[in-house]
Amino acid sequence: MEIKLDQAAALLARTPAVLSELLRDMPEGWLDCREAPGTFSPMDVLGHLIYGEQLDWLPRMRIILEQGESRPFDPFDRVGFRSLIEGKRVEELLKTFETLRNDSLQAMSALNLQPAMLGRAGTHPALGTVTLGQLIAAWVVHDLGHLAQIERVMARQYRDAVGPWRAYLPILDVSHANS
Amino acid sequence: MEIKLDQAAALLARTPAVLSELLRDMPEGWLDCREAPGTFSPMDVLGHLIYGEQLDWLPRMRIILEQGESRPFDPFDRVGFRSLIEGKRVEELLKTFETLRNDSLQAMSALNLQPAMLGRAGTHPALGTVTLGQLIAAWVVHDLGHLAQIERVMARQYRDAVGPWRAYLPILDVSHANS
């Protein structure tokens, strides 16, 4: 499927509400659970998404539009969010993400992007040449991947509790590399 | 993690709202997309969850409590939902699921389950002996697995559109057997 700007924006706009329904008032212990040491907990995912709103998606879009391929994107630190979430309650972080995402979408709307601009190229520091359309598609998929990751990390808490049903619940055996 | 009845009920209670935020007002084409012929679309998942509310979880719970291991559960048809969703709008199905889930949780609450009862055994037609606690844990994991499946099916629509970012988005390459 080719991306359509209005559809991509509509998908990006719903992520804060999905996250909020998934995570607010979560029973104790579920926000900090993880699949293995060093992997993301639900709170980590939320921090990572907030940090991406600040430093990843919109800033890179602006670099493509203003400087093209000549100026590579700054590398994004996928664990740069640690200090952002320290001591914060989940409700506060959900609100922060919602605000930042709305800001991003308003900023994207103000860029008045046209379909013909989706082929504009930029330089990813590791992946090389990428286009504006690929960046927007990756933003959508990145959201969906991390929502699925949260659900997988939560499900994993009951891996033993389901007993023989494990055979019918493949989410319990997806590798945690697959976020 | 051992299951706690109040936590499991709280997790089950939030699924209708998560689904609603994910699926209502979805851009055209996204509700019926699928990873491969014969796999579930987002609408199919919703139908499957509705059908499970009607015929799977609570009915099996009652069989365990009333008849124990002597009476195996009825087999559950995972594609028995087809006629349920035919011609229906997603908003209508989301409302139906919300109502049925609330009914299920009220019925479970009325059973006044106690932790000591979670070890009560029943007979699954394929898996053999299972317990009430395992059934409740499987219900929670089943919800989470299908939420993650919807996100994966949606993400897959942009598999080609993300270009080189595919290397960083493993949700695009999880096998569709892993629902």
pLDDT (tens digit, 9 = 90+) per residue, A18-43?
999 999 989 778 999 999 999 999 99
Q: Nearest-CA distance from B9 to chain A in Å?
A: 10
Q: Nearest-CA distance from A174 to chain B in Å?
A: 7
- How confident is the model at residue A42, as a pLDDT? 97
Q: Output the six-digit token pair for B138.
A: 């499987």
- How confident is the model at residue A176, as a pLDDT? 61
Q: What angle do CA A160, A163, B109 make, to 5 degrees?
A: 95
Is-contact B160 A3, C-beta < 8 A?
Answer: no
Burial class (CB in 10 A: 0-12, 13-18, 19+), A116: exposed
- How confident is the model at residue A177, as a pLDDT? 54
Torsion angle of the four alpha carbons B28, A120, A81, A96, in this order, in degrees rounded to the nearest 10: -50
Is-contact B12 B97, C-beta < 8 A?
Answer: no
Burial class (CB in 10 A: 0-12, 13-18, 19+), B147: buried
State yes or no: pLDDT of A100 exceeds 90: yes
Determine the Cα–Cα distance for residues A108 and A13; give it in Å rounded to an integer. 12
**C-alpha closest to that of B8 among B140, B131, B150, B151:** B140
- How confident is the model at residue A179, as a pLDDT? 47
Query: Could you say which of A17, A30, A144 has the minimum Cβ distance to residue B171?
Result: A144
Question: What is the interface pTM, i.e. ipTM, of the complex?
Answer: 0.96
**Mean pLDDT for each 10-residue chunk of chain B (179 residues)?**
93 98 90 94 98 97 98 96 95 98 98 96 98 98 98 97 97 72
* A170–B11 C-beta distance less than 8 A: no
Query: Model-level pTM greater than 0.90?
Result: yes
- How confident is the model at residue A110, as a pLDDT? 97
Determine the Cα–Cα distance for residues B146 and B179; give it in Å rounded to an integer. 6
Q: What is the DSSP string of A109-170?
A: HHTT--GGGGG-EEEETTTEEEEHHHHHHHHHHHHHHHHHHHHHHHHHTTTTTTGGGGGG-G
Please tell me which residue of chain A has the smallest CA distance to B19.
A18
Burial class (CB in 10 A: 0-12, 13-18, 19+), B5: middle
Contacts (Cβ under 8 Å, ≥6 apart) of B92: none
In the DSSP assignment, the letter for residue B174 is: S
Q: Output the six-digit token pair for B32.
A: 């019926």
- What's the alpha-carbon Rg for chain B, to the nearest Å? 18
- In chain B, what residues touch A152 (CB-CB under 8 Å)? 144, 148
Q: Nearest-CA distance from B20 to chain A in Å?
A: 8
* B17–A137 C-beta distance less than 8 A: no
State yes or no: pLDDT of A85 exceeds 60: yes
Q: Is B103 left (phi over 0), alpha (psi -120 to 50) or beta?
A: alpha
